């Protein structure tokens, strides 16, 4: 029995690692009883290591065989070149004696140079392929080693993280090589594609493993932190149970491990971005290149899962949902700047702000929940109410939700602005990530539903104001709508419509993309302008139908409507100079250009006033049409009043009436004209009143000219003086609105000028031509008209 007992080797013959291992495992006599178990574990580990060694030997053998076969091919090619060079040397020696060197230089040398270039290309291809094969092999080994360590659940995560870093470093080197190959040898697409395929397989293993390790680290850190309990009676309250931020409290090895894992994920994402950039060269790469930050998503996803447990209890209190999301976003946003942003910069991940990515991910999680749970429920409630004929509660809930979204986006974008992001000048892609209204991007039917609700709500608010007659009579004072800051004399109803339309514009600004804003404005904003224009037209037609605008009340009613149209038109034109409407107008031009297939007929005109061009055009047409109608009504009344005056041809042969500078019959017509113009001057704004009298003056000019001077009436000296006094009174009335009223009555002025000419000049006029007329200042009468006026002079 003593012979079977084996003596232990002396301690001096053992290595330091063995002695340390035995000291750690066997400290007391009782530990000797666990020696068989320890021996079994050591044998299992040795077996696994032997198996790994045999696998590596097999892989090495395969690589050597591949390398040997490629080396043989390369050697054969080089031998062939050497043989051809020897043949060339012999041919050149033999040709030098018989004068055939020209043939060699002219025919065989170019072929040889081409063959040398081909072989050099083959050599470079072989070397590149060998290099890439070696790199990809190293990647696969590193990935395989990382996976095996994870599957064995080895306690040392440091070695696993080191192997992952090695794999990432080799991946970057491989990507640099592939980019160089793609730039210098674009024809080697099959080689690049084959390497990409093998790298993609490795990345398909490496990335999920890195994310899984990162998640386990977050769990060990205590992430996600417990959500603080908000006061249910005050969801906006900022006072809640303080919860420590695990990202700030982690220390020692745990902090180092988390930072290394965060860096690894960032490095993998940067590598993926570079690969996509190379693969999508020459295409629209923006969508593929800027993806959400993976490491930030891993922070947000657990919080989203925990938060939704609370959300499910708050369907009838959506304000709690928005309050909780905002509080979590605000409480942890500082750690993104202070702790994680330096790691992103260290990973050379350009174009990323951790603050922005954190806020964006939280907003995206909220938008996703709204799209999956809240909006479908509200839409179904609207459908139920539409079938029952009641449209109150569901529409109120919808508008309340929109109000919460607008307030939430403003607060969140205020948080993002601390990073220096100028949201007002930002492209739509960035704004979409920071807006809960991105829910409408994939669901335009919900946008249409919201626009219909907003429009119905606006019409409900406008209806009592439209029916209130005081809203049409009371003027709005002190509104700086026109460029000259003048009193526009607009009724209060115009201000009501303006405020209603402004409210729709403000809500439209909350949408994150130009396409959505344009669609919403056309659906919810433009109908308000059409309704306003319809009300104005109805009132004008009503006044015209009742009295044909012969009474002052009818004129004032139309004047108020014209003022309201002028007020709203000026507001819309001023808005169209704002960058918000300019962007919408540009988008509309692009859409029109696309739909008309390059036919730009009318495109430039329609883009002049932006997206509201059609509405502004209709307001202008309404205003100018009714201004013209007002002048026509006044002219028609003046014609009736002075009909006897125009028919009395004898008066022009007589002297003026004693005690009267102006003909009595003409005084009545002037009195009518003065009364109507005073009413219009008091009722109309200055711009449109100018349009009225400027339109009226040519009508009066033609009416009196053809009614008196173009008839067979004969003018004596007294008649000419009488006509001059009558016209001076008419011109004097218009002199209140311009400095030289005669210029607006060209035919009367020149006809009176002809009547006042001497007899000799009149003879020249009868014998003269148009040249004589122009030389004497007669430019608005034809030769026939001038001749007729001259013949009527006694």
pLDDT confidence of residue 772:
76
Q: Is 611 exposed, middle or buried (CB count within 10 Å of its CB: 0-12, 13-18, 19+)? A: buried
Residue 765, pLDDT > 90, answer: no
Cα dist from 310 to 8, 186, 234, 306, 378, whole Å? 66, 55, 16, 7, 19
Q: Are 794 and 713 within 8 A, CB to CB?
A: no
How far apart (Å, rounded) are the C-alpha atoms in residues 129 and 134? 8
Give the other-Cβ count within 10 Å of 65's Cβ: 10
pLDDT confidence of residue 691:
93
Residue 1, pLDDT > 60, answer: no
Q: Are 214 and 298 within 8 A, CB to CB?
A: yes
Give the other-Cβ count within 10 Å of 654's Cβ: 12
Which has more confidence, 301 or 65?
Answer: 301
pLDDT confidence of residue 661:
81
Among the listed ranges 230-234, 383-387, 441-445, 723-727, which one has the minimum average pLDDT value? Answer: 230-234
pTM listed for this prediction:
0.77
Summarize the confidence of residues 230-255 as an average pLDDT: 64
How far apart (Å, rounded) are the C-alpha atoms in residues 41 and 47? 10
Residue 779, pLDDT > 60, answer: yes
Single out the residue of 190, 181, 144 nearest to residue 164, CA to CA: 144
What pairs with residue 715 in β-bridges? 793
pLDDT confidence of residue 2:
44
What are the structure tokens assigned to 586, written together? 């540009």
How far apart (Å, rounded) are the C-alpha atoms in residues 288 and 279? 10
What pairs with residue 793 in β-bridges? 715
Those residues with Cβ within 8 angstroms of residue 525's Cβ, 6 or more apart along the chain or in another chain: 501, 504, 505, 508
Q: What is the DSSP letter of 348?
A: T
Single out the residue of 87, 115, 271, 253 nearest to residue 178, CA to CA: 271
Those residues with Cβ within 8 angstroms of residue 157's Cβ, 6 or more apart along the chain or in another chain: 213, 257
Residue 229, pLDDT > 80, answer: no
Which has more confidence, 496 or 662?
Answer: 496
pLDDT confidence of residue 170:
93
Which has more confidence, 731 or 243?
Answer: 731
Summarize the confidence of residues 643-648 as an average pLDDT: 90
Q: Please tell me which of 63-77, 279-293, 377-391 the model is most confident about, judged by mean pLDDT.
A: 377-391
pLDDT confidence of residue 780:
84
pLDDT confidence of residue 596:
54
Among the listed ranges 106-115, 353-362, 417-426, which one has the minimum average pLDDT value? Answer: 417-426
pLDDT-based confidence at 791, cuts 50/70/90? confident
Q: Are 615 and 525 within 8 A, CB to CB?
A: no
Q: Are 615 and 609 within 8 A, CB to CB?
A: no
Residue 238, pLDDT > 50, answer: no
Among the listed ranges 198-212, 434-448, 481-495, 590-604, which one has the minimum average pLDDT value? Answer: 590-604
How far apart (Å, rounded) are the C-alpha atoms in residues 547 and 469? 19
Single out the residue of 683, 710, 711 nearest to residue 626, CA to CA: 683
Mean residue pLDDT of the chain comes to: 82
pLDDT confidence of residue 316:
87
pLDDT-based confidence at 611, cuts 50/70/90? confident
> How confident is the model over 691-710, as pLDDT tens digits?
999 999 999 999 999 999 99
> How confident is the model over 490-507, as pLDDT tens digits?
899 999 999 999 999 999
Single out the residue of 628, 630, 471, 612 nearest to residue 530, CA to CA: 612
> How confident is the model over 161-187, as pLDDT tens digits?
788 888 999 999 999 999 999 999 889
For every residue of 486-517, DSSP letters joined together read -----BHHHHHHHHHHHHHHHHHTTSSSHHHH
pLDDT confidence of residue 235:
45
Residue 421, pLDDT > 70, answer: no
How far apart (Å, rounded) are the C-alpha atoms in residues 205 and 212? 11
Helix (H) or strand (E) run with residue 150 in it: helix 109-151
pLDDT confidence of residue 601:
44
Residue found by looking up tokens 């174009």 in the block: 351
> How confident is the model over 324-347, as pLDDT tens digits?
999 999 999 988 988 999 999 998
Q: Are 634 and 674 within 8 A, CB to CB?
A: no
Summarize the confidence of residues 223-236 as an average pLDDT: 60
Summarize the confidence of residues 749-762 as an average pLDDT: 83
Task: Give the SS3 label for residue 153.
Answer: coil
Residue 728, pLDDT > 90, answer: yes
Q: What percent of the chain has pLDDT over 70?
A: 79
> How confident is the model over 551-580, as pLDDT tens digits?
889 999 999 999 999 999 999 999 988 888
Residue 87, pLDDT > 80, answer: no
pLDDT confidence of residue 347:
86
Summarize the confidence of residues 151-156 as an average pLDDT: 53
> How confident is the model over 252-307, as pLDDT tens digits?
888 899 999 999 999 999 999 989 888 887 665 555 567 889 999 999 999 999 99
3-state SS, one letter per residue, for 86-134: HHHHHHHHHHHHHCCHHHHHHHHHHHHHHHHHHHHHHHHHHHHHHHHHH
How far apart (Å, rounded) are the C-alpha atoms in residues 728 and 731? 5
How far apart (Å, rounded) are the C-alpha atoms in residues 684 and 563? 6
How far apart (Å, rounded) are the C-alpha atoms in residues 726 and 700? 13
Summarize the confidence of residues 307-322 as an average pLDDT: 90
Those residues with Cβ within 8 angstroms of residue 74's Cβ, 6 or more apart along the chain or in another chain: 122, 123, 126
pLDDT confidence of residue 215:
92
Residue 781, pLDDT > 80, answer: yes
pLDDT confidence of residue 452:
94
Q: Give ∠ CA 746-738-632 in degrees, rounded to 5.
A: 65
Q: What percent of the chain has pLDDT over 90?
A: 43
Which has more confidence, 17 or 431?
Answer: 431
pLDDT confidence of residue 447:
96
Summarize the confidence of residues 535-542 as an average pLDDT: 94
Residue found by looking up tokens 């004097």 in the block: 732
Residue 440, pLDDT > 90, answer: yes
For every residue of 576-592, DSSP letters joined together read TTSHHHHHHHHHHHHHH
How far apart (Å, rounded) are the C-alpha atoms in residues 67 and 734? 105
pLDDT confidence of residue 583:
85
pLDDT confidence of residue 559:
94
Summarize the confidence of residues 347-366 as an average pLDDT: 90
pLDDT confidence of residue 65:
74
For every residue of 728-777, DSSP letters joined together read HHHHHHHTTT-S-GGGG-HHHHHHHHHHTS-HHHHHHHHH--HHHHHHTT
> How confident is the model over 447-484, as pLDDT tens digits?
999 999 999 999 999 999 999 999 898 776 544 444 43
Give the other-Cβ count within 10 Å of 570's Cβ: 19
- Residues 659, 661, 663, 668, CA torsion sign: negative
Summarize the confidence of residues 406-416 as an average pLDDT: 92
How far apart (Å, rounded) are the C-alpha atoms in residues 62 and 776? 113
């Amino acid at each position: 029995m003593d012979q079977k007992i084996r003596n232990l080797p002396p301690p001096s013959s053992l290595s330091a690692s063995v002695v340390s291992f035995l000291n750690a495992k066997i400290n007391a006599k009782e530990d000797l009883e666990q020696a068989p178990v320890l021996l079994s574990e050591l044998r299992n580990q040795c077996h696994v290591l032997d198996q790994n060694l045999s696998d590596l030997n097999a892989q090495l053998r395969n690589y050597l065989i591949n390398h040997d076969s490629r080396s043989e091919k390369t050697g054969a090619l080089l031998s062939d070149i050497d043989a051809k060079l020897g043949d060339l040397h012999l041919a050149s020696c033999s040709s030098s004696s018989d004068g055939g060197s020209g043939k060699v230089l002219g025919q065989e040398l170019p072929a040889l140079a081409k063959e040398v270039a081909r072989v050099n290309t083959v050599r470079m291809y072989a070397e590149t392929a060998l290099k890439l094969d070696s790199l990809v092999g190293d990647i696969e080994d590193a990935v395989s080693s990382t996976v095996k360590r994870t599957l064995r659940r080895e306690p040392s995560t440091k070695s696993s993280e080191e192997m992952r870093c090695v794999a990432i470093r080799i991946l970057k080197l491989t990507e640099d090589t592939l980019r160089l190959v793609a730039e210098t040898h674009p024809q080697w697409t099959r080689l690049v594609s084959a390497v990409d395929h093998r790298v993609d397989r490795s990345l398909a293993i490496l990335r999920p493993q890195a994310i899984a390790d990162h998640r386990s680290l977050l769990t060990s850190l205590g992430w996600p932190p417990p959500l603080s309990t908000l006061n249910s009676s005050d969801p906006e309250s900022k006072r809640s149970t303080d919860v420590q931020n695990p990202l700030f409290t982690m220390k020692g090895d745990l902090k180092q491990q988390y930072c290394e894992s965060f860096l690894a994920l960032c490095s993998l994402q940067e590598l993926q971005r570079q690969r996509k950039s190379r693969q999508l060269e020459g295409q629209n790469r923006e969508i593929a290149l800027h993806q959400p930050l993976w490491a930030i998503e891993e922070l947000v996803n657990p919080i989203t899962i925990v938060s939704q447990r609370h959300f499910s209890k708050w369907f009838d209190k959506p304000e709690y949902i928005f309050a909780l999301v905002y509080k979590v976003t605000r409480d942890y946003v500082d750690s993104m700047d202070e702790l994680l942003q330096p790691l992103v910069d260290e990973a050379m991940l350009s174009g990323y702000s951790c603050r922005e990515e954190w806020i964006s991910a939280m907003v995206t999680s909220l938008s996703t929940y709204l799209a999956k749970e809240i909006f479908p429920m509200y839409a179904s409630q609207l459908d139920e109410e539409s079938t029952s004929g009641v449209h109150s509660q569901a529409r109120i809930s919808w508008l309340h939700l929109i109000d919460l979204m607008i307030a939430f986006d403003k607060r969140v974008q205020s948080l993002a602005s601390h990073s220096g992001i100028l949201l007002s000048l930002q492209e739509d892609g960035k704004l979409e990530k920071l807006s809960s209204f991105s829910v409408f991007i994939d669901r335009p039917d919900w946008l249409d539903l919201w626009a219909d609700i907003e429009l119905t709500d606006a019409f409900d608010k406008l209806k009592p104001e439209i029916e209130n007659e005081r809203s049409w009579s009371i003027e709005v004072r002190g509104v700086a709508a026109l460029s000259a800051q003048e009193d526009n004399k607009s009724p209060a109803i115009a201000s009501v419509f303006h405020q209603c339309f402004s409210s729709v514009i403000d809500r439209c600004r909350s949408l994150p993309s130009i396409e959505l804003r344009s669609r919403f404005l056309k659906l919810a904003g433009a109908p308000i302008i059409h309704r306003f224009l319809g009300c104005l037209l109805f009132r004008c037609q009503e006044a015209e139908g009742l009295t044909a605008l012969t009474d002052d009340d009818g004129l004032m009613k139309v004047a108020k409507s014209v003022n309201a149209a002028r007020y709203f038109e000026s507001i819309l034109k001023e808005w169209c100079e704002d960058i918000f409407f300019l962007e919408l107008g540009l988008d509309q031009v692009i859409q029109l250009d696309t739909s008309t297939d390059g036919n730009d007929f009318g495109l430039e005109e329609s883009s002049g006033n932006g997206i509201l061009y059609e509405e502004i055009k209709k307001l202008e047409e309404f205003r100018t049409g009714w201004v013209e109608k007002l002048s026509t009504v006044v002219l028609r009344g003046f014609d009736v009043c002075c009909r006897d005056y125009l028919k009395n041809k004898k008066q022009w042969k007589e002297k003026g009436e004693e005690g009267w500078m102006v003909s009595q019959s003409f005084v009545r017509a002037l009195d009518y004209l003065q009364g109507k113009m005073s009413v219009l001057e008091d009722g109309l704004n200055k711009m449109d009143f100018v349009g009225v009298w400027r339109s009226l003056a040519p009508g009066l000019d033609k009416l009196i000219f053809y009614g008196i001077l173009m008839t067979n009436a004969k003018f004596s000296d007294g008649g000419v003086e009488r006509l001059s006094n009558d016209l001076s009174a008419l011109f004097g009335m218009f002199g209140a609105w311009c400095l030289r009223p005669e210029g607006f009555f060209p035919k009367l002025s020149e006809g009176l000028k002809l009547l006042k000419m001497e007899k000799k000049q009149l003879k020249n006029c009868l014998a003269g031509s148009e040249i004589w007329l122009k030389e004497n200042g007669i430019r608005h009468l034809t030769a026939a008209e001038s001749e007729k006026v001259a013949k009527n002079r006694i």
